[in-house]
Amino acid sequence: MEIIQHDVRRLDRLITDISDASRLDAELARNVADKVDLAALLRSVVDGARGHTTSGRRLTINFEAQKLPATQRQGYVVSGHDLRLSQVFTNLIENARSFVPAEDGRINVLIRRRGQRVVVAIEDNGPGIQAEALERIFERFYTDRPAGEAFGQNSGLGLSISRQIVEAHDGTLRAENIVDPAAPDKIRGARFVVSLPAG
C-alpha cells in the first residue's frame, strides 16, 4: 500500500510537470509582464535555498551582485513574470544542489550587466556535464539520474521548462563547464547562464 502511494505521488508530480510545460506558452503570452528587480528576486530565491538544508551535508550558497554605477540604479530590472523567473532560478539551484559533493558543496549565484542585458550565472562544484550532453540536457525528459530514482521523481523537465520560460522573456539559457585555464580538460563544475534584456 505504501509503495503504491509513493508511486501515485511520483506520477502526480510527473503529470503536474507535464501540464505545467504545456500551459506555459499560453500563460506567458496572456499575462502582462511586470518590472522585476532580478537582483532582489535572486536574493530571495537564494535565501529560500539556504533555508532548505539537508542534514549530513555541507553546502555554501554565495550570492554576488556586481555593483552598478549611480546612473544605472535600476540596472537589474527586467520585464517579466516574477513567479516564473523564480521557478527558473529555483530549478537551476536545486539541480546544482543535487550534484555538488555532500561534504563541501559550493554554489555561486552571480548577477551582472553586460551592455543591455542582465546576465545571471549559477555555478557549482559538481562533476559538470559531458560535452556531448551540453545541449541535450535541455530536451524534455532528458535526465542522467539513476533509473530507479528517475520515474516521476526527476522527470527531466526542469531545464526544458526553464529554457522555455527564459525564451518567452526574449532571453537565453545555456550550460557550460567550468574549467581551469591551465588544465582545460579538468572540469571543476557546471555553469548555467541566463541572459535577459534589461529594462
Ligand X SMILES: Nc1ncnc2c1ncn2[C@@H]1O[C@H](COP(=O)(O)OP(=O)(O)OP(=O)(O)O)[C@@H](O)[C@H]1O
Residues that bind ligand X (CB under 6 A): 17, 91, 95-96, 99, 124, 126, 129, 137, 142-145, 154-160, 190
Q: Which residue, 12 or 34, is less far from ligand X as judged by CB? A: 12
Question: For 184, which DSSP code?
Answer: E
* Shortest Å distance, C-beta 87 to Mg ion: 11
Assess 126 for contact with Mg ion (CB under 5 A).
no
Helix pair 158-168, 2-30: axis angle to 10 deg: 10
Q: Which residue, 153 or 177, is less far from Mg ion as judged by CB? A: 153
Site of grid cell 574549467: 179
* Shortest Å distance, C-beta 105 to Mg ion: 16
Q: What is the CA radius of gyration of the chain?
A: 18
* Shortest Å distance, C-beta 150 to Mg ion: 11
Q: Which residue, 111 or 162, is less far from ligand X as judged by CB? A: 162
Assess 171 for contact with Mg ion (CB under 5 A).
no
Q: Three-state DSSP class for 195? A: strand
Beta-carbon count within 10 A of 139 CB: 14
Cα–Cα distance for residue pair 15/136, rounded to 1 Å: 22
Cα–Cα distance for residue pair 86/9, rounded to 1 Å: 24
Residue 123 partner contact from ligand X, Mg ion, none using kind-dependent CB cut-offs of 5 to 8 Å: none
Q: Three-state DSSP class for 132? A: helix
Task: Confirm if 100 and 57 have CB atoms less than 8 A apart.
Answer: no
Count of chain residues binding Mg ion (CB under 5 A): 2
Site of grid cell 518590472: 35
Q: Which residue, 157 or 165, is less far from ligand X as judged by CB? A: 157
Q: From residue 93 to residue 112, what is the string marking binding to Mg ion with x (rule CB under 5 A)?
A: --x-----------------
Q: Which of residues 142-161 bind Mg ion (CB under 5 A)?
A: 158
Q: Which residue, 87 or 95, is less far from Mg ion as judged by CB? A: 95
Chain residues binding Mg ion by CB under 5 A are 95, 158
